[in-house]
Chain A
Amino acid sequence: MCVAVPGKVMEINGDTAKVDVMDNICDVNVKLVNVKPGDYVLMHAGCAIDVLAQDTAREILDVFAELEEEVHDNA
């Protein structure tokens, strides 16, 4: 339950945003943050808890992609 992942805000409708997380589009509550489409957010348990700088978000996503590759290779 403690994991938080970054994603890119695609569109916002009220308190809910469509967020792209490694090509998965998720509905995320954005009530706790001020965001606009194109921003990166850190999501935890269905809620955006922070706005991330683009390079920080990309760095984290790269690490996740690398991990996924490792896991896939070892599966």
Chain B
Amino acid sequence: MITLERIVRELRDYDGEEIKIMEVCGTHTSSIFKNGIRSLISPKIRLISGPGCPVCVTPSVYVDKLVDIAGQEGHCVLTFGDMMKVKGSRMSLTEAVAAGARVRVLYSPLDAVKIALEDKNTQYVFAAVGFETTTPVYGVLLDEITKREIHNLKLLTSLKIMVPALSYVCENEKNIDAFLAPGHVSVIIGCDVYKELAQKYKKPFVVAAL
């Protein structure tokens, strides 16, 4: 029987050829770091952060636009907290707030509906970033905006899809041996897309999330 102890031992004692595993999702990177997984595995197994953090792959020009909007009279940017410290070419949203701009951090994009209805004199703009996991939530938000005829809530989108990013990595980073595929994205898109990549590039993919 394969026990957790045996897996830990094998990962720690591995002394074969160097293996590079890309953790595709930002949550993977965070979980691996928080749980000290790097310290449990052999130095011959390298974990490489991938392109799957929607905040990290946000272009600076997008942050610049948010900063401009937040600084406009009668405007307010609504955002996930993760975006606050991302640098644009001039400043981050945190720095924009310090300079007098209006920004509010929300847990859910759907909270924006109530905020917009309560203050119709302000034009709210939600910083809609994300991959496939978050996109359906924006769909629900747009549905609410349309149904309730809310005119002071808009979305500035920077939405991405995972497979082209992974295809690019497979095509251009030949030295990656395996991929830890994003779990929450796979809740939306399923696992078949990885089969195609695995067959084309002859690399193993394992879907995992926490």
Contact = CB atoms under 8 A, between A and B. Distances in A.
Interface of A: 1-4, 29, 31-32, 42, 44-47, 49-50, 60, 63, 67
A3 to B, nearest CB: 6
Contact of B55 (A1, A44, A50): A1
Contact of A3 (B27, B54, B110, B129): B27
B108 A45 contact: yes
A50 B186 CA distance: 11
A38 to B, nearest CB: 21
B74 interface: no
Main DSSP-derived SS at the B contact region = mixed
22 contacts: A1-B81, A1-B82, A1-B129, A2-B27, A2-B53, A2-B131, A2-B134, A4-B187, A29-B110, A29-B137, A29-B140, A31-B140, A32-B139, A42-B184, A44-B133, A45-B110, A45-B137, A46-B109, A46-B111, A47-B108, A49-B137, A63-B210
Given A1-B55, A44-B134, A63-B210, 12 more contacts: A1-B82, A1-B129, A2-B26, A2-B133, A2-B182, A29-B108, A29-B137, A44-B184, A47-B110, A47-B136, A47-B140, A49-B188
A2 B110 contact: no
Interface residues of B, number: 31
A44 B25 CA distance: 15
A60 to B, nearest CB: 8
A1 B187 contact: no
Interface core residue of B55, B110, B131 (most chain A CB under 10 Å): B110
Nearest to A60: B210
Contacts of A45: 80, 107-110, 134, 137
B209 interface: yes
A46 B107 contact: yes
B10 interface: no
